[in-house]
Amino acid sequence: VLPWDTLGFTGDVPVRVVADPYDRLAETDETNNESSTTVTILTRPDLLSGGIALSNPEPMAGESVTVTLTISNGGQTAAGTSVLALYDGNPDTGGTLLGTRTISVDGSTQNTVGFSWLPSQAGLHRLFVQIDRDDAVDEFNENNNRAWKDIYVGLASPILLDSGGTNDPVYTDTLGYGYVDSGQPDVVASCGSEPYETLRQDPGGEVMYRFDHLLPGHFYHLDLTLYECDGAGRQEDILVDGNPIAGPEDLSDGRIHHLSLRLDPALYADRSITVGVQAGGIDGAVVSAVNLYDVDYRYADAGSASNDPQYPGTSQRPYGWLDGVPNTAWGILPYQSVRVEQSDSTLRYRFDALDPAKSYQAHFTFWQPSGAGRVQKIQVDGADTGVSVDTGDYQVHR
């Protein structure tokens, strides 16, 4: 047996063996002292991350997501059994172990492994993958066994705040939402036992709330309840980050005012908003409730070249048109462009991944500028909804 250090050799290597290479022995046959063959030398295993993917790339706190890890073996030799570990945070500095899996990867192949993750805290998380955690595999490169991916976890939804009531926390960085009391101290008032009768009032004229950890790829509804007990007749405006988005709301009628406002994603591109309820004069601003909902919002500008997706579309929630052709003969504004189905009397859109535990609202816009009037009906899964719209008056119907 002759030892051979194969370091530096890979692939098919010719090997030649010669006995008595210097002819020092007298032999009956001097022609059979040499033999040759080809030896295939495989590279050692080399485990590394081929990617980290989430079932929802923008999860919310309290939402279970699947983390799929792809583990590649860049070597030609099979990597035997080893431990794969996933951490929330750097394991060298106290990261939390989310789980382990035992894997083996054949040479020049890759395996995928799934983990379930339930983030409890909103904010930035760095998921760390530790391959061959216990150094069980003799690898070509031991320095590429770690990978990470930054994931921003959004605020759990909904956030329901009863202004002036028991569920009306002050904003803190840790909580990520609540009222912000600046200037003259806020006053908590009540004129009854109903939720709308508990109030937060700012004598300086602006009640403020802050919400952090919003996700740029999500849509949000800001719902407010405005009511006054003292009959001061306030005119209140709603602002987000100093930008007016609604108002003035005239509270002098003594009624409860409910507002539901879809926020423009540009307002929370930095993942945070400050909501202000302003009132002029000397009576101060009041608010009864401030609620924030993460909503499943899907928009289709029928007939548009850019905002009318064909099913299933490209979003995490599949939707889009199933038939018809676009037409912009009446204009290119959202209410002017249309999708027309000429082969029959039914134009269809489909929406998937709806949550049976939630309620949904569908909003439609109908319009025609001229011609014979059309009567449009709306069906859901083939069943009539009872909604019928006659566009022969040439008005915009919403």
**Full DSSP string of 67-102:** EEEEEEE-SSSPEEEEEEEEEES-GGGTPEEEEEEE
DSSP code at position 310:
B
- What is the C-alpha separation between 228 and 224, in angstroms, rounded? 13
Where are the domains positioned within the chain? Answer: 11-41, 47-153, 159-295, 319-393
Of residues 255 and 41, the one with the higher pLDDT is 255
What's residue 30's pLDDT? 85
Are 99 and 39 in contact by the 8 Å Cβ rule? The answer is no
Instruction: Write the DSSP assignment of 261-273 as a string of letters.
Output: EEPPGGGGTTS-E
Q: pTM score, two decimals?
A: 0.81
What is the bridge-based pairing of β-strands 34-41 and 11-18?
Answer: antiparallel
- What is the C-alpha separation between 116 and 99, in angstroms, rounded? 8
Q: For the chain, what percent of residues have pLDDT higher than 90?
A: 79
Is 228 buried (19+), middle (13-18) or exposed (0-12) by CB count in 10 A?
Answer: buried
- What is the C-alpha separation between 62 and 57, in angstroms, rounded? 14
Q: What is the mean pLDDT of residues 348-369?
A: 92
What's residue 3's pLDDT? 86
What's residue 222's pLDDT? 97
What's residue 123's pLDDT? 96
What's residue 88's pLDDT? 97
Of residues 240 and 315, the one with the higher pLDDT is 240
Which CATH code of 3.30.310.50, 2.60.120.260, 3.40.50.300, 3.40.50.2300 fits the domain covering 159-295? Answer: 2.60.120.260
Of residues 314 and 397, the one with the higher pLDDT is 397
Number of residues that make up the chain:
398
What's residue 345's pLDDT? 86
* Block residue for tokens 């990520």: 176
Per the prediction, the chain carries an average pLDDT of 93
What's residue 12's pLDDT? 86
Q: Is the pLDDT of residue 1 over 80?
A: no
What's residue 271's pLDDT? 97
Q: Could you report the per-residue pLDDT of 203-225, keeping only the tens digit for each?
A: 999 999 999 999 999 999 999 99
Is 355 buried (19+), middle (13-18) or exposed (0-12) by CB count in 10 A?
Answer: exposed
What's residue 161's pLDDT? 97
- What is the C-alpha separation between 41 and 27, in angstroms, rounded? 34
Is 342 buried (19+), middle (13-18) or exposed (0-12) by CB count in 10 A?
Answer: exposed
H helix or E strand, kind and range, residue 307: none
Q: Could you report the per-residue pLDDT of 6-19, keeping only the tens digit for each?
A: 887 878 889 889 99
Q: If pLDDT is split at 50, 70 and 90, which confidence band does 81 have?
A: very high
Q: What is the mean pLDDT of residues 289-318?
A: 91
- What's the CATH class of domain 47-153? mainly beta
Q: Could you report the per-residue pLDDT of 99-113, keeping only the tens digit for each?
A: 999 999 999 999 999
Q: What is the mean pLDDT of residues 121-136?
A: 96
* CA angle at 395 for the pair 392 and 398, rounded to the nearest 5°: 110
Query: Token pair for residue 305?
Result: 């070249």
What's residue 347's pLDDT? 95
- What is the C-alpha separation between 323 and 90, in angstroms, rounded? 50
Q: What is the mean pLDDT of residues 321-342?
A: 94
- What is the C-alpha separation between 338 and 300, in angstroms, rounded? 11
Instruction: Write the DSSP assignment of 341-390 as a string of letters.
Output: --SSS---EEE----TTS-------B--SSSS--EEEEEETTEEEEEEEE
What's residue 315's pLDDT? 73
Q: If pLDDT is split at 50, 70 and 90, which confidence band does 332 have?
A: very high
Q: Could you report the per-residue pLDDT of 146-171, keeping only the tens digit for each?
A: 999 999 999 999 999 999 999 999 99
Q: Which of 10-14, 67-71, 92-96 has the lowest mean pLDDT?
A: 10-14
What's residue 13's pLDDT? 87
- What is the C-alpha separation between 150 and 27, in angstroms, rounded? 73
Pick from 210, 200, 203: nearest CA to 179: 210
Are 216 and 265 in contact by the 8 Å Cβ rule? The answer is yes
Q: Is the pLDDT of residue 318 over 80?
A: yes
